[in-house]
């Protein structure tokens, strides 16, 4: 009986460990995704600015 309880405790601790690892990996992935989203938004803003500047230059010609 004692062995069964110890085995259950080991299994529960293993499941908790796996879940903590999964949470860590997920948070790292989400932070990278957030940084990528910011980079994409910055790139889009740069493209918009570049197009606007080109239109202004073409209007002056």
**DSSP category for residue 61:** -
- Give residue limits of the domains in the chain: 1-61
pLDDT tens, residue by residue, 1-60: 677 788 888 888 999 999 888 888 888 888 888 888 888 888 888 888 888 888 888 888
For residue range 8-19, what is the model confidence (pLDDT) as tens digits? 888 889 999 998
pTM: 0.52
C-alpha span between 11 and 19 (Å, rounded): 12
């Amino acid at each position: 009986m004692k062995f069964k309880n110890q085995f259950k405790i080991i299994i529960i601790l293993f499941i908790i460990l796996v879940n903590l690892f999964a949470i860590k990996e997920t948070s790292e992935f989400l932070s990278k995704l957030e940084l990528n989203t910011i980079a994409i938004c910055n790139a889009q803003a740069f493209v918009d600015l570049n197009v606007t500047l080109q239109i202004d230059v073409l209007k002056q010609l």
